[in-house]
Amino acid sequence: MITVEKFVFNPFQENTYILYDETKECIIIDPGCMDRHECSEMTVFIAARELKPVRLIYTHCHVDHVPGNNFICETYGLTPEFHEAGLSFFKDAPRHGHIYGFNLADPIMPENFISHGDMIAFGNSQLKAVYTPGHVDGHLCFICEEQHFVITGDVLFKDSIGRTDFPTGDFDKLMQSIHNHLFTLEDDYKVYCGHGPETSIGYEKVNNPFIKF
């Protein structure tokens, strides 16, 4: 049984998630922790529950989702995993972060990538990765079929959708990603977003004002 813990980090109020199960293995998704205080919030939580981080995975590589990369890699001996199409954004994060006043070192690089349909396994649990471009190339969502929840990154938010005005953003692709991979899930799926509160697939199908049918 997976437990999902949410942290809200950095000036962009980005949601970082730790997912763990009864084996105490955990995965970290989108490490937005930036300063010492935010980083220690993560390590204190992990230590208090005696969790063992086994994977560091990304929905996408925008600068607000990556600042904790090196800290998490160095603290837990991990390398980042994301979709290969996100590589240029990942490499570019320090330069891009500079625009916002972030001071990021060159990132520790991935050793393998996640593809559409891959299963992300940890402990007794697994998530299915689905490729969902439109907000940015290389974007993945992670679906837990067993417990009916999905991590949507910056594709779908409560009453909103991801911006499409960044490089490689494309509104039509975003709509396709939502219709083909998220709105095909059952209504009771809980949605954990990259920013803001949780929602559900059923709620967004009825109420989301940005989605065209």
Residue from 25, 30, 38, 64 touching Zn ion (CB under 5 A): that is: 64
Q: Contact 110/70 with Cβ under 8 angstroms?
A: no
Please report, for residues 88, 123, 130, 146, 149, the alpha-carbon distance to residue 85 in angstroms, rounded to integers and kept in the order given. 7, 28, 13, 28, 25
Candidates 22-30, 83-91, 117-125, 151-159: pick the segment binding Zn ion (CB under 5 A): 151-159
Q: Cβ closer to Zn ion: 62 or 83? A: 62
Q: Is 208 helix (H, G, I), strand (E, B) or coil?
A: coil
- Sign, Cα dihedral of 17, 158, 176, 174: negative
Q: Smallest gap, in angstroms, from Cβ of residue 194 to Zn ion?
A: 5
Rounded distance between C-alpha atoms, residue 101 and residue 97, angstroms: 6
Residues in contact with Zn ion, counted by CB under 5 A, come to a total of: 4
Candidates 70-78, 111-119, 146-154, 168-176: pick the segment binding Zn ion (CB under 5 A): 146-154
Site for Zn ion, residues 2 to 61, rule: CB under 5 A: none
Output the six-digit token pair for 55.
């994977």
Site for Zn ion, residues 180 to 209, rule: CB under 5 A: 194
Q: Cβ closer to Zn ion: 24 or 100? A: 100
Q: Cβ closer to Zn ion: 51 or 140? A: 140
H/E segment holding residue 94: helix 87-99
Q: Does 138 interact with Zn ion (rule: CB under 5 A)? A: no
Q: Smallest gap, in angstroms, from Cβ of residue 47 to Zn ion?
A: 27
Which of 120, 113, 117, 93 minimizes the C-alpha distance to 105? 93
Output the six-digit token pair for 63.
């600068």
Q: Cβ closer to Zn ion: 102 or 122? A: 102
Query: Which residue bears the tokens 């293995």?
Result: 25
Residue from 25, 137, 154, 204 touching Zn ion (CB under 5 A): that is: 154
Q: Cβ closer to Zn ion: 107 or 194? A: 194
Q: Contact residues for Zn ion (CB under 5 A)?
A: 62, 64, 154, 194
